[in-house]
Structure 1
Amino acid sequence: MIEQLLRTPFTDLVGVRHPVVQTGMGWVSGPRLVTGTASAGGLGILASATMTFEELERAIVEVKGRTDQPFGVNLRADAADAPARCELLIEYGVKVASFALAPKPELIARLKDHGVVVMPSIGAAKHAVKVASWGADVVMVQGGEGGGHTGPVPTTLLLPSVLDALAGAGSDIPVVAAGGFFDGRGLAAALSYGAAGIGMGTRFLLTRDSAVPDAVKQLYLDRGLTDTVVTAKVDGMPHRMLRTELVEELEDSSALRRLGPTARRTLEFKRTSGMSWPALLKDGRAMRKAQGRTLGQMALAANTPMMLKAGLVDGDTGAGVLASGQVVGIIDDLPSCEELLDRVVTRAAEELRRAASYTLGPS
């Protein structure tokens, strides 16, 4: 295990050795992967959206029992029990609260009052400025190369636009770049742009510390750079995943043909989550208000967790989907989290030193 080679505003803020975040991937980012990342010096983030309240509490206790290093929890800001889950983070002294959607200013204030670092994920410069004005401590920006729910703008354009917008608004909060990162060259590039760290999802999924079935990992490793697709047929929102026979069928199917399977997965999600029908409806209304989803998109929303579970947990690629970033086509091994982080930060430091050695011409 290497010592700190790269100190940034993000490492100072969060208290980790390396400016690398393992993102909160549903069904993937559990205690085992988060512990591996945290112990290796990065910021591991538990994915709580696919956990019941009780499962989240047990996961937090498990990680704290395995490591004394900082870690985070990813939360759905529009979930009905988001305030209660935030209180859980406060109670157990979790270092970072990560959000896929921006939490309300009062929730940000509550977390910050108790020393929890607030890190929303955003997909546009104006959203970064907004959450910074609300008191967010750091923002994560994910470009279109990233897996799961994603936007159309690549990281190389989104990142500088966010950095410029924050600077123009007088904000100096750290920015973590995600989408398309897998090695030290990417970390060096992100730091050169002005980011304070990077987030990686698919790269951490493909480690020995990931609990994803080995056969599914091999399926990822066998894919090329053009073997992902962005589809809205799973839950009504753009979602990058591996191109499989099931995904191709979904792409070609009509809404009517998807109605029966959607209803079955909604019932399965209700049983798995332990949520009541009133709670599901309340979550749906919140989702519609926060994300502007149509009624049809809300009806599809329960597809995501259950289809991801079928693929990533049960290993049933015929009934499940596999979220993936485009970097899947350039990854060819399964290191431990420690091996991965050691080589990422070592390579990044080498690249930054090499760049610094270039001779500059007259100014």
Structure 2
Amino acid sequence: MKTRVTELLNIKYPIIQGGMAWVAEHSLAAAVSQAGGFGLIGAANAPVEVVREEIRKARELTDQPFGVNIMLLSPHAKDIAQMVTEENVAAVTTGAGNPEPYIPMWKEAGIRVIPVVASVALAKRMEKHGADAVVAEGCESGGHIGQTTTMALVPQVADAVRIPVIAAGGIGDGRGMAAALMLGAEAVQMGTRFVVAEESIVHENYKQKIIKARDIDSEVTGLTTGHPVRSLRNQMTREYLRMEQEGASFEELEYMTLGSLRKAVMDGDVKGGTVMAGQIAGLVKKEQTCAEIIQEMLSEAGALLKKDWNIG
């Protein structure tokens, strides 16, 4: 199955795993890449040597290409931006900041640059500054979100830029993949479904919270602060929304969520922690291996698009 994205990243299938903080570590990234997709290690706020070690551990598990997602607001972003050139990763995806200062360095090192964008204007700007592709991420996704839905955003971005577009947000099965390709995307990026993969190190409580979720169980917090986040409804989101409505300061709200994602992912606290997940959580019904997830998606999408892809 060839698209410009599969050729750009030298992968078999146009399925990319999101670079989720605390979730996207070496074992998940390697499993996705080994299955023919493109795995990402989420750098989040981790120090540079921690991320370097994750890259080297992934290389012990797969000889297939994978990348690193760099959260540019991290205090370690500059060091990690340099380190990925030393480790010669296949691609970098970026979020929460402006990657422009680093793009020439990455391009010179032969690293593919794929920023995550939530608007047409940002997609055009990234293309102008040398990005190889963009991830157009709709507000259905888990974690930090923009305002536009995937259905509306992807075709507008695809019309506005010449570089390949990867669709993200609200995609959890072959139907979503087929729809994204019809909208003009040349690959999809998924987070929530890979959270419950067998190779994911996420606490079982977190996985079960997603598997048991209904279509209406996600909540957006932080709208008043300008930093909206989608996660599954629980005690923490209820308290956060109450404080928001009562006019709590940004600092108070930030303090409340400090370390809350790690609490949910690593410790399994799905009541007081932040259980980031997209609106497709209601579609996710079971744990599967990364290979099973990818093969199932390709079979579904191929049948819908009447494509006889060589899968396996």
Q: TM-score range by the shorter chain?
A: over 0.9
**Normalising by the residue count of structure 1, what TM-score does the alignment of the two structures yield?**
0.80
CA distance in 1, matches of 2:273, 2:217: 16
- Write out per-residue CA displacement over residues 180-232 of structure 1, whole angstroms, 9 at most, x where no aligned residue: 00111211111111111001000100111111111221122111000001110
My pick for the range that moved more, 153-162 or 99-108, is 99-108
Paired positions, count: 308
My pick for the range that moved more, 17-26 or 311-320, is 311-320
Change (3 A) 1:126 1:333: same
2:178 maps to: 188
> Are the aligned partners of 1:235 and 1:303 in contact in 2 as well (CA < 8 Å)?
no
1:114 maps to: 109
Change (3 A) 1:236 1:142: same
Structure 1 residue 208 corresponds to structure 2 residue 198: yes
2:93 maps to: 98
Gaps of 5+ in 2: none
Change (3 A) 1:225 1:340: same
1:88 maps to: 83
CA distance in 1, matches of 2:303, 2:189: 20
Structure 1 residue 350 corresponds to structure 2 residue 303: yes
Change (3 A) 1:112 1:302: farther
CA distance in 2, matches of 1:302, 1:96: 33
Q: Which one of the candidate residues 128, 135, 144 is aligned to 2:123?
A: 128
Task: Report matched runs for 1:219-230 at 5 Å.
Answer: 219-230=209-220
> Are the aligned partners of 1:26 and 1:305 in contact in 2 as well (CA < 8 Å)?
no
1:197 maps to: 187
Query: Post-superposition shift, 1:353?
Result: 1.1
- Structure with larger RCO (C-alpha < 8 A, sep 6+): 1
- Secondary structure of residue in 2 paired with 1:99: strand
- Secondary structure of residue in 2 paired with 1:60: helix
Letter matched to residue 343 of structure 1 = E
Q: Name the Cα RMSD after superposition.
A: 2.2
- Write out per-residue CA displacement over residues 154-199 of structure 1, whole angstroms, 9 at most, x where no aligned residue: 1000111111222xxxxx2110000000111211111111111001
**Normalising by the residue count of structure 2, what TM-score does the alignment of the two structures yield?**
0.92
> Are the aligned partners of 1:174 and 1:196 in contact in 2 as well (CA < 8 Å)?
yes
- Write out per-residue CA displacement over residues 209-263 of structure 1, whole angstroms, 9 at most, x where no aligned residue: 11111122112211100000111079761100001122112211269997xxxxx
Change (3 A) 1:105 1:321: closer
My pick for the range that moved more, 194-203 or 69-78, is 69-78
> Are the aligned partners of 2:17 and 2:40 in contact in 1 as well (CA < 8 Å)?
yes
- Which structure dedicates a bigger proportion of its chain to helix? 1
Greater C-alpha Rg: 1
- Write out per-residue CA displacement over residues 288-314 of structure 1, whole angstroms, 9 at most, x where no aligned residue: xxxxxxxx5467556656110011111
CA distance in 1, matches of 2:110, 2:307: 38
